[in-house]
Chain A
Amino acid sequence: KAGVTQTPRYLIKTRGQQVTLSCSPISGHRSVSWYQQTPGQGLQFLFEYFSETQRNKGNFPGRFSGRQFSNSRSEMNVSTLELGDSALYLCASSPGLKVDTDTQYFGPGTRLTVL
């Protein structure tokens, strides 16, 4: 099975711009979760989508949003970029059927740099 893919792998933006990141989960997986990883804060959960609906949400401002399509592919959008949004954005895919024992598999990540 192909793994989780994320595009683009690297991105450079300037403050105030917006950005859209894409994630294709493992075939058959219906849940996609997004995480932000920074050296200071570690891995922080942004949100999870399951069957095109947001099922869980972390503590991030409304500038961070996402969606999921009928083929389970997901996009994450960040508007009005700030310098502090520079991070590695990771997408994780899982079957999603049983939340408490769901096993997540990570994609390679998108490295976002905000100048």
Chain B
Amino acid sequence: QKEVEQNSGPLSVPEGAIASLNCTYSDRGSQSFFWYRQYSGKSPELIMFIYSNGDKEDGRFTAQLNKASQYVSLLIRDSQPSDSATYLCAVTFGNEKLTFGTGTRLTIIP
């Protein structure tokens, strides 16, 4: 059974601080890793994807991938109240479609 695990939270972070979201996955053969943001009552929207070990930066967001340790993380710098949402980690295993974690609920405190 391919699994993607996330801490459900809630994770509370002061405005302006760095929010760190973590995700672990069970299959060493996993190839592609995605972070989605989902506001309450809305559909998931893609934030970033990462395929290679290391860091990938996009604006205030940085995805970090460590395949040896089987984890992927998302850092949000200068957190804003608008970043309050549920963050979903998703992993592709081989030719199978995305497997999602259950999400981490993030709250940015003004």
Contacts and interface: CB of A to CB of B under 8 A. Distances in A.
Interface of A: 33, 35, 42-45, 48, 56, 58, 88, 90, 99-109
B78 interface: no
B100 A48 contact: no
Contacts of B55: none
A103 B31 contact: no
Question: Main SS of chain A's interface residues?
Answer: strand
A103 B99 CA distance: 13
A102 B43 contact: no
A100 B94 CA distance: 6
B97 A100 contact: no
B96 interface: yes
B102 interface: yes
